Chain A
Amino acid sequence: MGSAGMENGVLVLTDEIALPISVIRDLQSESVSEDDDVVVITQCGSLGAKLPFGPASFDVVVAVSSSSEFFTERWLEEIGRVLKPRGKILLQTFIEQDKPSSALERKLLMSGFLEVQTFEAKALLPYEKARIVSLEGKKASWTIGSSFPLKKEKIVLPKIQIDDESDLIDEDSLLTEEDLKKPQLPIVGDCELGSTRKACKNCVCGRAEAEAKVEKLGLTAEQINNPQSACGSCGLGDAFRCSGCPYRGLPPFKSGEKVSLPSNFLVADI
Chain B
Amino acid sequence: MAMEPRRLLVLYASQTGNAMDAAERVGREAELGGCAAVEVVSMDRFDAGCLPKERVVVFVVSTTGQGDPPDSMKVFWRFLLQRNLGNQWLEGLNYAVFGLGDSGYQKYNFAAKKLDRRLVDLGAKPIIEKGLGDDQHPSGYEGALDPWLLSLWRTLNQIYPSILPRMSDILHPEMRTLENSKFQVIYHSADSVQQDSDMSEHPENFVKLIERARLMSPALQCHDEEKPHHLLRMVTNKRLTKEAYDRDVRHFELESLSSVIDFQVGDVLEILPGQNPSVVDAFLRRCNLDPDCCITIQRRATEKESLDPSQNGVVHPIKLRSFVALAMDIASASPRRYFFEVMSFYATAEHEKEKLQHFASPEGRDDLYQYNQKERRTVLEVLEDFPSVQMPFEWLVQLVPPLKKRAFSISSSPLAHPNQVHLTVNIVSWTTPFKRKRHGLCSTWLVALDPQESRGVVIPSWIHRGCLPPPPPSLPLILIGPGTGCAPFRAFIEQRAVQNTKGPTSPVLFFFGCRSQESDFLYEHFWLSHSQNHGVLSKEKGGGFFVAFSRDQPKKIYVQHKIREESARIWRLLNAGAAIYIAGSSTKMPTDVTSAVEDVIVKESGMSKESASRWLRALEKAGRFNTEAWS
Contacts and interface: CB of A to CB of B under 8 A. Distances in A.
B613 to A, nearest CB: 11
A102 B114 contact: no
Interface stretch (B133-141, B175-183, B516-524, B547-555): B133-141
A110 interface: yes
A169 B433 contact: no
B575 A158 contact: yes
A179 B114 CA distance: 9
Q: Is the interface of A mostly helix, strand, loop or mixed?
A: loop
A220 interface: no
Interface string B418-458: 00000000000000111111110100110010000000000
B351 A268 contact: no
A222 B282 CA distance: 29
Nearest to A147: B575
Contacts of B619: 160
B54 interface: no
A101 to B, nearest CB: 12
Interface stretch (B241-249, B301-309, B366-374, B493-501): B366-374
B51 interface: no
A243 B366 CA distance: 13
Contacts of A194: 138, 366, 370
A186 B276 contact: no
A238 interface: yes
A157 B438 contact: no
A120 B201 CA distance: 52
B194 to A, nearest CB: 26
A175 interface: yes
Contact of B433 (A155, A162, A191, A252): A191
B23 to A, nearest CB: 21
Contacts of A189: 138
A268 B279 contact: yes
B623 A142 contact: yes
A183 B371 CA distance: 28
A46 interface: no
B81 A216 contact: no
B605 A192 contact: no
Interface string B65-90: 00000000011011001111000000
Interface stretch (B34-42, B105-113, B287-295, B314-322): B105-113
Interface residues of A, number: 60
Contact of A269 (B75, B363, B448): B448
A102 B622 contact: no
Nearest to B279: A266
Contacts of A184: 103
A179 B370 contact: no
Contacts of A192: 433
A236 B114 CA distance: 47
B441 A268 contact: yes
Contacts of B276: 266, 268-270
Interface of A: 50, 55, 77, 102, 106, 109-110, 140, 142, 144-145, 147-148, 154-155, 157-158, 160-162, 166-169, 171, 174-176, 179, 182-186, 188-189, 191-192, 194, 196-198, 216, 236-240, 243, 248-249, 251-252, 262, 265-270
Interface of B: 47, 49, 74-75, 77-78, 81-84, 103-106, 108, 110, 113-114, 117-118, 121, 134, 136-138, 262, 275-276, 278-279, 282, 331-332, 351, 355, 359, 363, 366-367, 370-371, 374-375, 377-378, 380-382, 384-387, 432-439, 441, 444-445, 448, 465, 472, 475, 574-577, 601, 605-607, 611-612, 615, 618-619, 621-624
Given A144-B577, A216-B434, 9 more contacts: A102-B47, A154-B606, A155-B607, A167-B83, A171-B81, A175-B114, A188-B136, A252-B387, A266-B278
25 contacts: A110-B75, A144-B624, A155-B607, A162-B618, A162-B622, A168-B78, A183-B106, A186-B137, A194-B370, A196-B363, A196-B367, A216-B435, A236-B385, A237-B384, A238-B375, A239-B359, A240-B351, A266-B278, A266-B378, A266-B380, A267-B438, A268-B275, A268-B279, A269-B276, A270-B448
